[in-house]
């Protein structure tokens, strides 16, 4: 035992010599595509699993994704054989080899699943060309496919591309946009504008979104671009903190209870998830369309924020906030009546259940602007007048019978007061109208 302990000490001392904090920081800073750990994935495994196509190495070769590999190879052939193509295939391969190291570094623990560099380059080219072709066909820019093509036709755009779009938002199924930049640069013979690549990808993922502002730099991958599009409007009127403050520990009330406390809801001026404000008793929230894709979209965005240091916490904070104010179908109905929640999945109860399930193991970042909103709403609800009004509404206006009972009680009280007044008034009126009493007969005269 003693010898073993000494060997353990020797091993630790040897490892200490290899510790390099700056190298560790540089290594972690290169990753942007992650395997979702079991503690997150086990809550909803299907939300992180691609359905029809793999991008990158993590899900490559899985049996249920194999049918799309044939279409990837066809996309590569179309990309290479178009008329007036000013490059050779070798040029494409050489361009990707130039950036193979940063591409490999983007994947966390890549060596565990894909250690062969040549196969990795092949995968990047094939998947990159397929992604470009799908994006271009959807935008109507590629017309050399057959009209009955199962993927690259109007029929495919209608029935298959939505699943591809979904898979492009899986955190484990990302492709670095550096690949697209290299492919387009070789295809066009000139460097590609990074902003144009961001807009090309975003137009495919969310056609109705406002284009990203210029100068943001090339996105890490499609999920990163999509997240930035949801947060591009900066928060306004934030309180600057001079010291660290813990996140608010109070549970904010549901939307219905806030409404009863006098808080009104309205749509924010933008659709940014950061555009949530509370002023003068009015809570402004961005419009959100809740459909079949909402759950997996938020789960993957939150997983990215949790795993990518420095990404921020805005999407997670938004989900936490919405879970607080949405407890039941009544809250969804109220927000829907104000145009804030657009329900495309059916029942209001299903929407409430969705937000409640999204927030498992979620905490609010104390540096988030939403924590300021949280505090202001809580302070507003604690004011005596607002508390009294909320209690009054909660007690007497919850049902028509309670309201009728209150109205009857008030009516009886008013009638009793009026009866008392009418009973007492004649006495005082008769007393005031009677003549004054004469002076006593033997009253002494004043001196």
SS (H, E, C) 91-159: HHHHHHHHCHHHHHHCECCHHHCCCCHHHHHHHHHHHHHHHHHHHHHHCCCCCCCCCCCCCCCHHHHHH
- Angle at which helices 314-325 and 348-358 pack, to 10 degrees? 130
The residue among 128 and 281 whose pLDDT is bigger is 128
Q: Answer yes or no: is pLDDT of 415 > 70.
A: yes
Would 389 be classed as within a structural domain? no
pLDDT(244) > 50: no
Longest Cα–Cα distance in the chain: 139
DSSP sequence for 254-265: PHHHHHHTT-EE
Of 109-118, 311-320, 416-425, the least confident: 416-425
Whether 266 and 199 map to the same domain: the answer is no
**Residues 316 and 169 grouped into a single domain:** no
What is the SS3 assignment for 276?
Answer: coil
Domain hosting 280: range is 255-382
pLDDT score at 235: 52
Determine, yes or no, domain membership for 121: yes
Domain final residue, candidates 382, 414, 433: 382
- Can you tell me the distance from the alpha carbon of 274 to that of 238, in angstroms, rounded to the nearest whole number? 11
Residue 260 domain flag: yes
- 346-378 pLDDT, tens digit each: 899 999 999 999 988 776 666 777 888 888 888
**Do 82 and 172 lie in a common domain?**
yes
What's the pLDDT at 398?
A: 54
pTM for this entry: 0.82
Alpha-carbon gap, residue 333 to 339, rounded angstroms: 10
Same domain? 185 vs 98: yes
**Whether residues 288 and 222 fall in one domain:** no
Residue ending a domain, among 382, 410, 429, is 382
Q: Is 66 in the same domain as 213?
A: yes
Q: Which of 66-75, 85-94, 346-355 reaches the highest mean pLDDT?
A: 66-75
pLDDT for 439 equals 64
Place 240 in a pLDDT band, splitting at 50, 70 and 90.
very low
Same domain, 312 and 351: yes
Q: Give the contacts of 255 (CB within 8 A, at least 6 positions apart).
A: 265, 325, 326, 331, 334, 335
Band of residue 1 on the pLDDT scale cut at 50, 70, 90: very low
Whether 157 is covered by a domain: the verdict is: yes
Asked whether residue 278 is domain-assigned, the answer is yes
332 and 189 belong to one structural domain: no
pLDDT band at 238 (very low <50, low <70, confident <90, very high): very low
Residue 442 lies in a domain: no
Residues 93 and 166 in one domain: yes
Contact 339, 285 (CB under 8 A): no
Kindly state whether residues 289 and 145 are assigned to the same domain: no
pLDDT tens for 137-196 read 999 886 789 999 999 999 999 999 999 999 999 999 999 999 999 999 999 888 888 999
Is 402 a member of any domain?
Answer: no
Between 214 and 128, the more confident residue is 128
**CB contact burial 7-26 (16+ within 10 A = b; e otherwise):** eeeeeeeeeeeeeeeeeeee
Mean pLDDT, range 244-258, rounded to an integer: 70
Last residue of a domain, one of 340, 363, 382: 382
Residue 51's pLDDT band (cuts 50, 70, 90): very high
The domain total for the chain is 2
272 located within any domain: yes
Do 275 and 224 sit in the same domain of this protein?
no
The mean predicted confidence, pLDDT, of the chain is: 85
Residue 330 sits in the same domain as residue 190? no
Does residue 154 contact residue 137 with C-beta atoms inside 8 Å? no
């Amino acid at each position: 035992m003693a010898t073993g302990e000494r060997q353990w000490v020797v091993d630790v001392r040897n490892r200490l010599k290899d510790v390099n904090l700056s190298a560790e920081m540089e290594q972690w800073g290169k990753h942007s595509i992650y395997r979702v750990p079991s503690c997150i994935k086990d809550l909803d495994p299907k939300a992180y699993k691609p359905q029809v196509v793999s991008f990158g190495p993590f899900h490559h070769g899985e049996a249920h994704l194999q049918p799309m590999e044939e279409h990837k190879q066809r996309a590569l052939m179309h990309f290479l054989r178009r008329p007036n193509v000013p490059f050779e295939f070798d040029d494409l391969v050489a361009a990707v080899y130039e950036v193979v190291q940063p591409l490999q570094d983007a994947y966390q623990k890549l060596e565990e699943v894909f250690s062969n560099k040549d196969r990795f380059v092949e995968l990047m080219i094939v998947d990159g060309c397929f992604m470009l072709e799908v994006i271009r066909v959807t935008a109507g820019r590629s017309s050399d496919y057959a009209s009955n093509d199962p993927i690259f036709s109007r029929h495919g755009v209608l029935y298959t591309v939505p699943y591809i779009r979904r898979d492009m938002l899986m955190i484990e199924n990302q492709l670095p946009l550096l690949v697209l930049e290299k492919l387009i640069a070789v295809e066009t013979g000139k460097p590609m504008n990074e902003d144009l690549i961001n807009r090309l990808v975003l137009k495919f993922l969310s056609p109705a979104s406002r284009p990203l502002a210029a100068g943001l730099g090339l996105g890490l991958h499609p999920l990163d671009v999509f997240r930035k599009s949801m947060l591009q409007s900066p928060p306004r009127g934030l309180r600057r903190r001079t010291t660290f403050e813990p996140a608010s520990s109070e549970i904010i009330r549901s939307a219905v209870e806030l409404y009863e406390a006098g808080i009104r809801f309205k749509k924010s001026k933008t659709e940014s998830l950061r555009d949530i404000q509370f002023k003068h008793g009015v809570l402004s929230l961005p419009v959100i369309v809740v459909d079949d894709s909402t759950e997996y979209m938020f789960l993957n965005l939150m997983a990215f924020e949790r795993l990518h240091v420095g990404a921020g916490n805005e999407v997670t904070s938004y989900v936490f906030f919405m879970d607080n104010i949405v407890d039941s179908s009544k809250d969804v109905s109220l927000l829907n009546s104000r145009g804030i929640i657009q329900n495309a999945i059916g029942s209001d109860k299903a929407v409430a259940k969705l937000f409640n399930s999204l927030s498992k193991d979620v905490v609010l970042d104390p540096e988030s602007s939403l924590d300021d909103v949280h505090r202001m709403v809580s302070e507003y609800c604690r004011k005596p007048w607002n508390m009294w009004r909320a209690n009054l509404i909660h007690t007497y206006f919850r049902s028509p019978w309670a309201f009728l009972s209150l109205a009857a009680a008030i009516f009886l009280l008013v009638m009793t007061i009026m009866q008392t007044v009418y009973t007492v008034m004649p006495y005082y009126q008769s007393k005031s109208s009677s003549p004054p009493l004469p002076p006593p007969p033997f009253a002494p005269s004043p001196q």
